[in-house]
Structure 1
């Protein structure tokens, strides 16, 4: 499905191309102080806080005969607006409303395209009068914006969302898309945890050098493999073996330092991280540090107790490690804990199955409609607090990306929401949408009021 189209229209030199460049994230349109730099329609793929749409930068609208160059430019601009799903009508708040702005407004009022009024260059006190004057153009309250400095983008998002946010995604569709490529699975852990032995057992061959000496593996090695699931389907996997990561104080040799850096880069590259722990040695602080690093990088995490075939007091060991993980990884509860044996192969199929399921949750995308139905129930069951007696008005939440699932909550004073309430929302979201223990990002965005100034 093609993205909705947004056209930027306004008289020359009000900042249309500056906004265009900000939305596409590149300097595709030339920008200069002199008017009339843009002549042809320029299009680009825009992303505004997760909203994706097609943006069209138009020439400055001038009231000239169609036989002249400015007149032909105006015809192109009119065509762009007619083809758009919504038009951003931009005025210069510092210069105030001029007759040409009023002429454009009269034309826009008779078009069928919805119009959002934007007062650019509204930063500071110099733009206040222009913002107020723009109300008389007949398109409601203008959105105060600074295209150059990025101020006012939250309010712009709020205004554009009804026109460009199409709910055409679902968790099931995202899971199917995630299954298309090979599972990028990195095996990490302390030295001599049995990483290379485990991978050799998966492959059914001695592909990697192993031995009792710690630190044999130095480079991160990627190997393509095919795993057969319980239904007989071949599932592609890219296995990444990494160097053992010791405590920083014990990493002395230059070569070992480079190996550890390479292992950290492998974490960044992978989709799912398997932290392999030697069951005969138990959980150590370094294991928690490796797990925390993977979660901080936004990777899906599975923890496996290796050498389970020779572990003593297995039941108490498993429960002890599980309790220590829940306490040591407070930001994510319930990380999958598996038992495997690289020597016998026991538990490997279940480990890979859980890794695929974890990637599905990590790749999941929830439609805005589903999100906000959950959100209404969540705040009704537990309303946000009122710091200092001022009520927080949470308006809506939207997903801006997956892998890991990342969301933005919009509303008045939501930046004052305490961490405890943010955790409540994240945990509720995990339960509602089946995210399990994958990292879930939730940030708060409150619109800035351009008329609020420091009283100093």
Structure 2
């Protein structure tokens, strides 16, 4: 069985550190500041021979439902409802606090198995807190150190006991007839498989400035309040991945933190959040840059778009809050004019007006996402490329440099994702930048690759008489 385990506890007791320890990666942001984690984050955990889904949650706080802390607590409560086992974490060095006691009372009423963990129990400083933990009424505490990896064998025993109880309650499973685990990436041909399948979901990152409606957009796509949202800017900190199915095609959506201008990012925590967002963009296949339709093409918007282009990701631009626009025809005409002015590097990129609040335009957005992915994987035959190159050279030959004409001899596509073309020519180092852009735009328009990042490299053709000249010497 694939059990789900939720980690809960008050802020700053080491939940995210334990999460990272169990998944074996630094996925969740960790900082000394309380309340770093806000959304619930799932991960594939491994402890000995146990495989399960671990869910990191926001710190439990006693706050009004309308406040940010209250909305964070609601996310944690939903994670508890979806879990099979709950890990209640306290700080052994701080001992049992009134907030621990308050939420332990809540945990005792949970209709789920609860394992009490006394974290930060390394050394003698945590011993008093371990003994105090018995007073919470959650059974014998398991002393661990998530940071140093101590006590994980005891956690393994506790989890294994609960998993066996769950399996016994569910009865024998047909899937349990074999111990063979098939790894879809084992053959190393993941890149050749089409995205959108169960084993190969399309990775889509939602990026943009703070308060552009990224989390709201994902919630609307999912049809549930999966991610924390609100009027406050900068709510999202971690890059959260969510699995979703659209028209029988599997998608992994990545919600990212809003990226402000670099000069404004001063706090360490925000720097970590932005770095996490950049990492999500780097490993995505398609990036949806979300802009506010009321103030599109701000300087930071253009920098994010340029970043996506430089990373070579397929790009779609979503103009959110379209429901607040009154004269839509006039605004859309202005948006297209500004796009031609500012987005030369991704000319023809797909632009979709949407409303994350009402759901307007979301199907068109996903159609644009899959179209962008298809173009990102496009391959053009060498014969077609060279036929086009002959016409280009005849119509607009490269300029002469120092009285000598640069010769373009051959054009071929080296790889996809994004499309990368190589031109063999004489004296490539002297080819002007303007002519390079001319070739890139020509490839984009001729072979129907609008908005796709295109890489164009130049190589110097070898002189067939070079070796003969050396022998004569």
**TM value normalised by structure 1:** 0.57
Q: Which of 176, 192, 207 is 1:188 aligned to? A: 207
CA distance in 2, matches of 1:428, 1:247: 33
Q: Which of 278, 283, 290 is 2:297 aligned to? A: 283
1:300 aligns with 2:319: no
CA distance in 2, matches of 1:188, 1:177: 24
Report if aligned partners of 2:207, 2:288 keep a CA contact under 8 Å in 1.
yes
CA distance in 2, matches of 1:411, 1:248: 40
CA distance in 2, matches of 1:189, 1:348: 17
Q: Which of 281, 287, 293 is 1:273 aligned to? A: 287
The change in CA–CA distance for 1:197 and 1:280 in structure 2 (over 3 A counts) is same
1:221 aligns with 2:240: yes
1:244 aligns with 2:269: no
The 10-residue stretch of structure 1 (375-384 or 438-447) with the greater mean CA deviation from structure 2? 375-384
CA distance in 1, matches of 2:449, 2:430: 26
Q: Which has the higher contact order (CA 8 A, sep 6+)?
A: 1
CA offsets 1:321-368 (integer angstroms, 9 cap, x no match): 332232222222222111111111110000000110011111111222
Q: Which of 297, 313, 319 is 2:327 aligned to? A: 313
The number of equivalent residue pairs is: 275
The change in CA–CA distance for 1:404 and 1:213 in structure 2 (over 3 A counts) is same
Matching of residues 417-428 of structure 1 within 5 Å = 417-428=431-442
CA distance in 2, matches of 1:176, 1:430: 24
Report if aligned partners of 1:272, 1:301 keep a CA contact under 8 Å in 2.
yes
CA distance in 2, matches of 1:398, 1:279: 40
SS of corresponding position for 1:443? strand
Report if aligned partners of 1:178, 1:363 keep a CA contact under 8 Å in 2.
no
**TM value normalised by structure 2:** 0.55
1:198 aligns with 2:212: no
CA distance in 1, matches of 2:262, 2:426: 44
CA distance in 1, matches of 2:224, 2:425: 56
1:207 aligns with 2:226: yes
Give 1:373 shift: 2.0
CA distance in 2, matches of 1:179, 1:200: 20
The change in CA–CA distance for 1:175 and 1:384 in structure 2 (over 3 A counts) is farther
1:351 aligns with 2:365: yes
Give 1:236 shift: 1.2
The change in CA–CA distance for 1:237 and 1:413 in structure 2 (over 3 A counts) is same
Q: Which residue in 2 is equivalent to 1:439?
A: 453
Matching of residues 129-208 of structure 1 within 5 Å = 177=194, 181-208=200-227
Report if aligned partners of 2:320, 2:355 keep a CA contact under 8 Å in 1.
yes
CA distance in 2, matches of 1:205, 1:242: 18
CA offsets 1:353-406 (integer angstroms, 9 cap, x no match): 011001111111122222222222222222222212212221101111111101
CA offsets 1:9-43 (integer angstroms, 9 cap, x no match): xxxxxxxxxxxxxxxxxxxxxxxxxxxxxxxxxxx
SS of corresponding position for 1:331? helix
Report if aligned partners of 1:396, 1:409 keep a CA contact under 8 Å in 2.
yes
Q: Which residue in 1 is equivalent to 2:276?
A: 262
Report if aligned partners of 1:243, 1:259 keep a CA contact under 8 Å in 2.
yes
Q: Which residue in 1 is equivalent to 2:389?
A: 375
Give 1:191 shift: 0.8
Report if aligned partners of 1:178, 1:360 keep a CA contact under 8 Å in 2.
no
Report if aligned partners of 1:175, 1:364 keep a CA contact under 8 Å in 2.
no
The change in CA–CA distance for 1:179 and 1:218 in structure 2 (over 3 A counts) is closer
1:402 aligns with 2:422: no
CA RMSD of aligned residues (A): 2.2
CA distance in 2, matches of 1:281, 1:387: 44
CA offsets 1:101-134 (integer angstroms, 9 cap, x no match): xxxxxxxxxxxxxxxxxxxxxxxxxxxxxxxxxx
